[in-house]
């Protein structure tokens, strides 16, 4: 049992001002796995005051001081990486191979990338008679989700530290353990008091208090669209910057070539990773209509081949994060059947042989783009396959969405794939796979605003100052 009942404020682990706790449930067993404290607005005030005090000195720290700190954080992160991965598995159900693999790799990668970007980043640039300065925006409220805990936390903390900002982290209530360990990592690495603070609790309390707070200069939020909208409303009175990375309903376009079936299988398996709980997941699979039967066979085989079970065992897919999330996904699967979509794999209920835990069957439908299961973000292992007549039609379907976060194109002709990718209205597109920590990530349309990752991620935490006459003659 884990017992994390203290917050991290002003360089120390401290008790909440008003004691209040909540149990954390292991999604694989439905058993209580630990306890956390739930913070209050008073705890937020205390953390913000600490961050405001620390900003005076940290905002004028040198690049060398910040690179040294990030290097120390990276070393300590690597020392406790296995522990972080095990916490991710326990808190949100990712298979251990994923929790101790890609989950922790992402967090480590963002810290290392921020470190490398910082070494050469130009915080000052002379342009004619003007000096352009990039200065830290101030005190930042960082609100993170449960689905990729280390990725979404480190992609905010690392550039905020690198640019000279101070911060208050509000981790996800459903997946709080890895954030608590990360706070210990930052403390051991020597983050100055007040530069990093963390308050656990409900988003409706802690997130709202941060968003409204007059001494918070920026909110960076990753999560659902309705919460993002509310954060913007809460932040409006203080005219603070709000960066949002919200939901998606990403299209995966498979080109009509000899690799079509293999690419359909790969896309189907990819969708089921992390139990489908990925905002940029390719949840709409667009395939040549003339080869639909071939695509159905490939997708069904791939989905039925995904093993589901105890995340501490040798399975490809664990549970979804909570009972609530399980019920939402089940409702969508039922809706797909009621809408007349053709179910080719999976379906309602738990996988065969599993009677406990929030496990969902890897599910694939064949449907149309006007169905609810093709319009709304399900956030589970549910894929809808849609046929297209030609590439113009494929692009039209892909762009016919309220969202625009991720996109995928798979095919043998790189030139065609590139052309298709340029026509898709979405913030990040993967052509035949690949991965890049320096590729900016963020959304079009209702998928949010701003960009994270790499050098573009620094811009979120910087103000631009123009000093005109810096080089004026006489």
pLDDT per residue as tens digits for the range 276-333: 999 999 999 999 999 999 999 999 999 999 999 999 999 999 999 999 999 999 999 9
Distance CA 58, CA 264 (A): 50
Cβ neighbours, 10 Å, residue 10: 18
* Residue of 41, 76, 90, 245 with catalytic role: 245
Distance CA 140, CA 66 (A): 17
Q: Is the pTM of this model over 0.85?
A: yes
Three-class HEC string of 393-423: HHHHHHHCCCEECEEEEECCCHHHHHHHHHH
Mean pLDDT of 263-277: 98
Domains of the chain: 2-246+447-467 (3.40.605.10), 251-437 (3.40.309.10)
Q: What is the pLDDT of residues 49-86, one digit of tens each?
A: 999 999 999 999 999 999 999 999 999 999 999 999 99
- The three-point CA angle 320-326-330 to 5° equals 130
Share of the chain above pLDDT 90, in %: 99
Distance CA 184, CA 165 (A): 19
Q: Is the pLDDT of residue 474 over 60?
A: no
Share of the chain above pLDDT 70, in %: 100
Catalytic residue status for 23: no
Check: CB of residue 251 under 8 Å from CB of residue 408. Answer: yes
Confidence of residue 472 (pLDDT cuts 50, 70, 90): confident
Cβ neighbours, 10 Å, residue 264: 27
Q: Is the pLDDT of residue 473 over 80?
A: no
Check: CB of residue 168 under 8 Å from CB of residue 16. Answer: no
Six-digit token pair at 256?
């009509």
């Amino acid at each position: 049992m884990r017992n994390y009942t203290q917050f991290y404020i002003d360089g120390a682990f401290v008790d909440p001002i008003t004691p209040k706790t909540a149990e954390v449930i292991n999604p694989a067993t439905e058993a209580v796995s630990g306890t956390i404290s739930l913070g209050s607005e008073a705890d937020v005030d205390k953390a913000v005051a600490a961050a405001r005090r620390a900003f005076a000195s940290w905002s004028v720290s040198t690049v060398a001081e910040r690179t040294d700190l990030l290097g120390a954080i990276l070393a300590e992160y690597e020392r406790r990486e296995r522990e972080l991965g095990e916490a991710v598995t326990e808190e949100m159900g990712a298979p251990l191979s994923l929790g101790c693999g890609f989950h922790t790799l992402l967090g480590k990668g963002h810290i290392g990338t921020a470190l490398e970007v910082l070494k050469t980043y130009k915080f000052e640039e002379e342009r004619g008679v003007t000096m352009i300065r990039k200065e830290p925006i101030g005190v930042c409220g960082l609100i993170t989700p449960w689905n990729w805990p280390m990725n979404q936390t480190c992609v905010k903390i690392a550039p905020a530290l690198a640019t000279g900002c101070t911060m208050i982290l509000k981790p996800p209530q459903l997946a709080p353990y890895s954030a608590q360990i990360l706070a210990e990592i930052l403390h051991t690495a020597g983050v100055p008091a007040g530069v990093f603070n963390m308050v656990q609790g409900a988003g409706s309390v802690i997130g709202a208090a941060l968003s409204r707070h007059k001494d918070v200069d920026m909110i960076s939020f990753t999560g659902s669209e309705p919460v993002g909208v509310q954060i913007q409303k809460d932040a409006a009175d203080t005219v603070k910057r709000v960066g949002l990375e919200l939901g998606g309903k990403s299209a995966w376009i498979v080109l009509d070539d000899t690799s079509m079936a293999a690419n359909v299988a790969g896309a189907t398996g990819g969708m089921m990773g992390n139990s489908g709980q990925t905002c940029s997941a390719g949840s709409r699979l667009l395939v040549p209509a003339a080869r639909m039967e071939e695509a159905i066979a490939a997708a069904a085989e791939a989905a039925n081949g995904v093993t589901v079970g105890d995340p501490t065992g040798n399975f490809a897919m664990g549970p979804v994060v909570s009972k609530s999330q399980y019920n939402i996904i089940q409702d969508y699967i039922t809706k797909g059947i009621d809408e007349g979509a053709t179910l080719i794999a999976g379906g309602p209920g738990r996988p065969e042989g599993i009677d406990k835990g929030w496990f969902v069957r890897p599910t694939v439908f064949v449907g149309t783009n006007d169905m609810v299961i093709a319009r709304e973000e399900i956030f589970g292992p549910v894929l809808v396959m849609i046929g297209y007549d030609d590439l113009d039609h494929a692009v039209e379907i892909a762009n016919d969405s309220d969202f625009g976060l991720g996109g995928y194109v798979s095919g043998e002709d790189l030139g065609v794939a590139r052309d298709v990718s340029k026509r898709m209205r979405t913030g990040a597109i993967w052509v035949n796979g690949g991965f890049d920590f320096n590729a900016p990530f963020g959304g079009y349309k209702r998928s949010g605003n701003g960009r994270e990752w790499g050098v573009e991620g620094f811009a979120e935490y910087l103000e631009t100052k123009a000093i005109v006459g810096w080089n004026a003659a006489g």
